[in-house]
Amino acid sequence: MHILTVLFVLTWAARGLAQDQTTPGRWLAEAEAAHGAVTNYTAIFHKQQRIDATLLQEEVIFIKFREPLSLYMRWVDEPDKGAELLYVEGWNGNRARAHQSGVLGLVTWNLCPRDPRLMSDNLHPLTYTGIKHLVMNVASNVHRASKAGELGFHNRGEEMVYGLPTRILEIVLPRDEAKGYSAYRMIINQDLASKILIRIRIYDWKDQLFEHYGYQDIELDAGLTDADFDPDNPDYHF
C-alpha cells in the first residue's frame, strides 16, 4: 500500500476514534460554552412543527437577535412573505408588535407572547426563539437521561448543512412519553468551526418528525444596534 494511502487511512481512523470518545458531558459543556458567548446574530431561521397531528409547512424567517431578549422577524417565503414581528423585553408592555402579510398587513397588532393569535400555529411562545433555547432543550434532556442511565448518545459522522461542515449527533431517550422527556429522538447538526447547533430535528414517541429548527447563514456578533429593534426603522413596515 502506498505510504500516502496508509497515512490517509490512519488519519481518518484516528479521527473516528476521537469522535467515538466524545462523551455527552464533554460535548454538552463545549456546546453550552459556545452558545453562552453569543450576544447577537442574524440568520435565516427555518421552523417546522407538528400541531394537532399535522406537520405544518416549513416557515422561513429572517431574524435578528440580541441579548437581552430583542427579536426581529421577517417572513421571507410564501404564504406569509412580508409579515413582521418585533419583540423587545421590557418595551411595549412586554408585547410583540406584529403584522401579517398582504392586505392584512395594514393592521398592526400588539400581542403578548402567549396570545392565542400567536400561539395558534406554534408549540412555544416567541420568547423561546433562538439558538440558546436549542442547546437548553438538549441540555435538560441529556442531563436528566444521563443521570438516570437512560441516554443514548451517538456520533453519526459529518455532513454539510447550509453550506457548513457539521457533526451529526443523535440523542435517543426512552420511548415512553410518561417519563416526561420532551422527545424520543433528537438529531443535531453542530457547526464544526463555531460549535453552534445550527439544526435540530426532534422526533416524537411514534418516531415522527415533531419539530425542526435550523439557522442558515448565521452571522455571529453581527453588531446589531437599537435601530435594528426600533419599529420606526425605515426598513420595517410596522
For every one of its 238 residues, what pLDDT tens digit does the chain have, with 9 covering 90 and above?
554 443 333 344 334 434 445 799 999 999 999 999 999 999 999 999 999 999 999 999 999 999 999 999 999 999 999 999 999 999 999 999 999 998 787 899 999 999 999 999 999 999 999 999 999 999 999 999 999 999 999 999 999 999 999 999 999 999 999 999 999 999 999 999 999 999 999 999 999 999 999 999 999 999 999 999 999 999 999 9
Q: Which residues contact 148 (CB under 8 A, 6 or more apart)?
A: none
213: β partners: 47, 200
- Cα–Cα distance for residue pair 14/192, rounded to 1 Å: 17
Which SS3 state, helix, strand or coil, does residue 234 take?
coil
Residue 180 in domain: yes
Domain that holds residue 102: 57-129+222-229
66 shares a domain with 117: yes
Q: What share of the chain is helix, strand, coil (3-state, %, to 5)?
A: 30, 35, 35
Residue 194 in domain: yes
What's the pLDDT score for residue 105? 74
What's the pLDDT score for residue 21? 52
Burial of 132 (0-12, 13-18, 19+ CB in 10 A): middle
The answer to whether the pTM exceeds 0.75 is: yes
Which SS3 state, helix, strand or coil, does residue 167 take?
strand
213 shares a domain with 140: yes
What's the pLDDT score for residue 140? 97
- Domains of the chain: total: 2
Residue 5 in domain: no
216 shares a domain with 135: yes
Residue 213 in domain: yes
Q: What is the CA radius of gyration of the chain?
A: 20
63 shares a domain with 32: no
215 shares a domain with 138: yes
